[in-house]
Amino acid sequence: MKTVQPIRNKADIEAMKEVLLKQHYRNYFLFTLGINTGLRISDLLALKVSDVRGKSHIVITEQKTGKLKRFRINNELQEHISKFTIHKDKASYLFQSRRGQDRIHRVQAWKILNAAAKEVGLEEIGTHTLRKTFGYHFYQQYKDVAVLQQIFNHSSPAVTMRYIGITQDIIDEKVDGFNL
């Protein structure tokens, strides 16, 4: 598995949204929910309409860790959820396949994101990019690695900083300025 990066530039995020919206609103919403919650793709794809519609929080048991996760749904996400789920049955998957009642799976999500990234001109993009993008921009806005560490259930601040690409940014900046 390749290492993927967060989308650091907000203009690139907007470009991704535009491309995904042209493809299908589901794809746009998957990207938007992912970059605004930091949930793992496996947890996003397992969500049902009833998990988010009319709720103030997403409450799940994380598939990877088995830990309970409670994440606040902000007002903007509430609006997206209302729009996206308006005609959907509450028992259906949030990210349902267009070919039946099942959900889309990780490989399909990867294909959707990579096709959009290619169109936008981004590399090192994968399903984990959504979570990393959330973390990167959360850190840039609040500079609070301790809260981000809690959100991600990471074991240390160093793990969180490396995960969201901040450590690599610092290394790159230092090397760019270094010369003997």
The structure tokens 């535009």 sit at: 18
Please indicate whether residue 106 is annotated as part of the active site. Answer: no
The catalytic position among 17, 28, 40, 136 is 40
Please indicate whether residue 83 is annotated as part of the active site. Answer: no
The catalytic position among 69, 132, 137, 154 is 154
The catalytic position among 80, 131, 132, 137 is 131
Please indicate whether residue 25 is annotated as part of the active site. Answer: no
The catalytic position among 48, 80, 103, 128 is 128
The catalytic position among 64, 70, 98, 174 is 64
Please indicate whether residue 128 is annotated as part of the active site. Answer: yes
Catalytic positions: 40, 64, 128, 131, 154, 163
